[in-house]
Amino acid sequence: MDDVLFGGARLLADIGGTNARFALQRGPGRIEEIATLACAAHATFTDAVRAYLAGHPGAARELRHAVIAIANPVEGDFIKMTNHHWQFSIDAARRDLGLDTLLVVNDFAALSMSVPSLADADLEQVGGTRVSPDAVIGLVGAGTGLGVGGVIPDAGRWKVLPSEGGHVAFSPSNAREQAILAYCWTKWDHVSAERLISGPGLATIHEALCAIDGVAGAALEPAQVVERGLAGDQLCAEVLDVFCGALGTMAANVAVTLCARGGIYIGGGVVPRLGEFFAKSSFRARFENKGRFTDFCKQIPVYVIHAPYPALAGAAAMLDQQLVDARAAAQRAPIDSVTSTHHAHA
């Protein structure tokens, strides 16, 4: 099968609004030559690809297949990035780069696809007692936004369940969160979960608590909130705990919505930076506070993802499936053609 999936190096990429991370894959699990390029330094998507490949001329000559995980909805052939000016036709880019295959997928779908194959060393368990093998897995990722998704076992393989669950309405679980939500309503008609459970959400929670408590404080960047909270600043520590508790409620919502007996995985850049604070926070108590479904949630383990480049591995797995399916379709084509001809003359 490897000759079908590879036949030379494959290009992998994980593209966000600020940076584009590229890598080469020459065999199963062999993700190498990882490099990060600033999107702003390149006029177009294909310019960035060529800039990366210029450092790997041998791979560029043998390149046939590529997969791009991008922080953007992927619907049809045309891609126009939400948080950057790049826009391109997938098919035109494929031809321009001389590729047989250019698969473009949503970055959170790629992260979701990476989850079933993550090593134990890349995961930190936070509570839970039992995993059901080959069960639905849920994923929540707090970073620049709030990603939600899942993977479903399907005939020996995994199928990604796309979701825009980060945009559901934020649901407060106590009076403090209710006051934060009321403050946010003075700014936005719809307060999504993403407004608060994300990197930018840390700054929003801090701003709200300052206003609620009548504290005169300068606006803080998310990284400053994390740094000060972990250093013992009382207000910023409360911001972090509000964030963790709200994430616990959101993760439990995903668990019961999907019946995610395969576990809930936490991705994104925020939680891994919190270290031991997260494990000791209100996250797990809130995750298990589900009324008649408390016992259900108590059994479900939560895993924080610490793998360095999981979206690249997930994108590679999605390309595997694409190529295998394409080969199967090509092998069926002569049979389908004969069958169609036979029916036509019947």
Please give the annotated binding residues, written as ranges. 13-18
Binding site members for ATP? 13-18
Per the structure block, which two tokens stand in for 47?
Answer: 């310019």
Give the number of other Cβ atoms within 10 Å of residue 178's Cβ.
11
d(CA 169, CA 197): 11
Q: Which residue has the tokens 């389908």?
A: 336
Give the number of other Cβ atoms within 10 Å of residue 112's Cβ.
32
Pairing of strands 137-142, 264-267: parallel
**CB-based contact 240:234 (threshold 8 Å):** no
d(CA 79, CA 138): 27
Q: Is 27 helix (H, G, I), strand (E, B) or coil?
A: coil
Report the chain's C-alpha Rg in angstroms.
22
Per the structure block, which two tokens stand in for 113?
Answer: 């696809």
How many residues would you count in the chain? 346
SS3 percent helix, strand, coil of the chain, rounded to 5, is: 50, 20, 30
